[in-house]
Amino acid sequence: MKIKIFHDTRSHLIWAVRIVEKGDKYGLDDCLDNDGTPFVEFYDTRHEHTDLGQFVSRYFLDTLTRGEGGLNLYGGVPRRNINEPCMNRIRDWLRRQA
């Protein structure tokens, strides 16, 4: 399991970012198996819903590594936005892991 913590210095939020590869378990209580394309999960570490924090969203790995700019993880909550400098660090890490 590949997990890294990122501090968004603009919003002052700390994100746990997890790569879920083929064969990894994920979902509530790890009840699902990834039987296909790798994806990335984002957790808000302010909330202790899981060991990583509160699950916010997941995206396919290749979608994130091709993108640019910041990332709005959940449009209904303004604080669920990762600013561009932090997202660039996340993308750099994801590209090194792929």
Short-list 62, 61, 48, CA closest to 17: 61
Assess whether pLDDT exceeds 90 at residue 75: no
The structural domains of the chain, with segments of one domain joined by +, span 2-97
Residue 47 C-alpha from the chain's centroid: 15
Assess whether pLDDT exceeds 80 at residue 84: yes
- The Cα-based distances of 82 to 24, 37, 42, 64, 88 in angstroms read 25, 23, 10, 12, 10
Would you state the pLDDT for residue 37? 95
* pLDDT, tens digit, 9 for 90 and up, residues 3-53: 999 999 999 999 999 999 999 999 988 899 999 999 999 999 999 989 999
